[in-house]
Amino acid sequence: MKLRLVNPTAPEPTVAVGSGGIDRLRNSRVAVLENGKQHAELILASIAELLGPDHGVELVTVAHKSVAAAADPAVIDELVAQADWVLVGSAD
């Protein structure tokens, strides 16, 4: 299984990762990986659910990780198995 990580703060990629726009997400399965910050799960899950009616995006799971550490490899494996893409972020 191929896993591609995209860092939104990184310099512009040489290949456009997002080419195809929002239509690339149509009828896809999304997971949320939240880091325990206040409201992170609420915000990320709400974004995923808002994509459902118009774009056919299905929220399939919400996983949790520590704010101070990387996600456990087993959690990553679960996300890769269940979802086409993952929303990752934090909030305060």
pLDDT in tens, 23-76: 778 899 999 999 888 888 898 899 899 989 888 999 999 998 888 888 899 999
* Structure tokens, 3: 């896993």
The predicted model scores a pTM of 0.73
**Residue listed under structure tokens 């990629």:** 13
Query: For position 1, what pLDDT does the model report?
Result: 57
The half-sphere exposure of 79 on its side-chain side, counting CA atoms within 13 A, is 23
User: CB 51: neighbour CB atoms within 10 A?
Assistant: 19
**3-class SS letters over 36-72:** CCCCHHHHHHHHHHHHHHHHCCEEEEEEECCCCCCCC
More confident residue, 15 or 21: 21
**What are the residue ranges spanned by the domains of the chain?**
25-89
